[in-house]
Amino acid sequence: MDWIEENLENPLSLEKVSQRSGYSKWHLQRMFKKETGHSLGQYIRNRKLTEIALKLKESNEPILYLAERYGFESQQTLTRTFKNYFSVPPHRFRVACSGGEGKYIHPLNH
């Protein structure tokens, strides 16, 4: 978990995380889901979105920069994923600067 948190700005494929953990990707996915209630991919994506939401509130970093920083293919991909999760696109989230906190997924204690 700590390694995932330290590497949120890097591409985190299932293969990379499973190699780091020393478990097969299938076993890691089962264990992760059992322990956390989240799929590994879902957890990583939602943690990245939470970090982006916090950056939108705390800084003036361009949305394109945040998309690239957190490994989204494009600003459009980030916007679509962000809107699906927070029900509002990133630029509107930044302007409103309220709501969405209930969707944040903070690092899990282990």
Residue with tokens 């970090």: 51
Residue 84 is part of a domain; what is its CATH number?
1.10.10.60
Q: For residue 110, is it within any domain?
A: no
pLDDT of residue 96: 84
Q: For residue 87, is it within any domain?
A: yes
Mind listing the pLDDT tens digit for each residue in 39-79? 999 999 999 999 999 999 999 999 999 999 999 999 999 99
pLDDT of residue 29: 95
Range of the domain at 90: 2-103
How many distinct structural domains can be found in the chain? 1
- Torsion angles phi and psi, residue 2, rounded to 5: -60, -40
Q: For residue 89, is it within any domain?
A: yes
Using a pLDDT cut of 70, give the percent of the chain over it: 90
- CA 87 → CA 8, 9, 69, 92, 98, distances in Å? 22, 23, 22, 10, 12
Q: For residue 109, is it within any domain?
A: no
Q: What is the pTM of this model?
A: 0.83
Residue with tokens 């478990």: 23
The Cα 88–Cα 56 span in angstroms is 13
Q: Which two tokens stand for residue 18?
A: 């499973």
Q: For residue 108, is it within any domain?
A: no
